[in-house]
Amino acid sequence: MTHLVLIAAVDELSPGTIRVFPREDTGLGAPLALVRDLNGEFHAVEDSCPHVGASFGRGVVHPDAVIECPLHHGLWCLRSGDAVRYPARTPAKIRRVEVREGGVWVSAGG
């Protein structure tokens, strides 16, 4: 079973927002961007754009659970990590998320 870590309360993020957690704040081994998409669903992605390492925390949330890198405007799917628009080519590292008991829990193992 994958270990889950509580990182936020559900009401801390409104739809369309991103919150970055530094490595030391999560205990997950990497900085993490927690994203609440426009439909209110939560997603977790390691906070380093695979293209050149920019922070997704300064990105833009698009419909259909897609995030845009603030530097070169590549797009990634928050559900799968797949690159959606050039210059995105390499998948983003997605973490499993569970919402329960008013909290947002993220997988420690990817």
DSSP structure string for the chain:
---EEEEEEGGGS-TTEEEEE-HHHH-SSS-EEEEE-TTS-EEEEESS-TTT---GGGSEEETTTEEE-TTT--EEETTT--EEETT--SPP-EE-EEEETTEEEEES--
What is the number of structural domains in the chain?
1
In a domain, 42, yes or no: yes
What is the domain-level CATH number for residue 73? Answer: 2.102.10.10
pLDDT classification of 108: cutoffs 50, 70, 90:
confident
pLDDT classification of 44: cutoffs 50, 70, 90:
very high
Residue ranges making up the domain that contains 56: 4-95
Per-residue pLDDT reduced to its tens digit, 47-81: 999 988 899 999 999 999 999 999 999 999 999 99
In a domain, 24, yes or no: yes
pTM, full prediction: 0.93
Per-residue pLDDT reduced to its tens digit, 13-36: 999 999 999 877 667 778 999 999
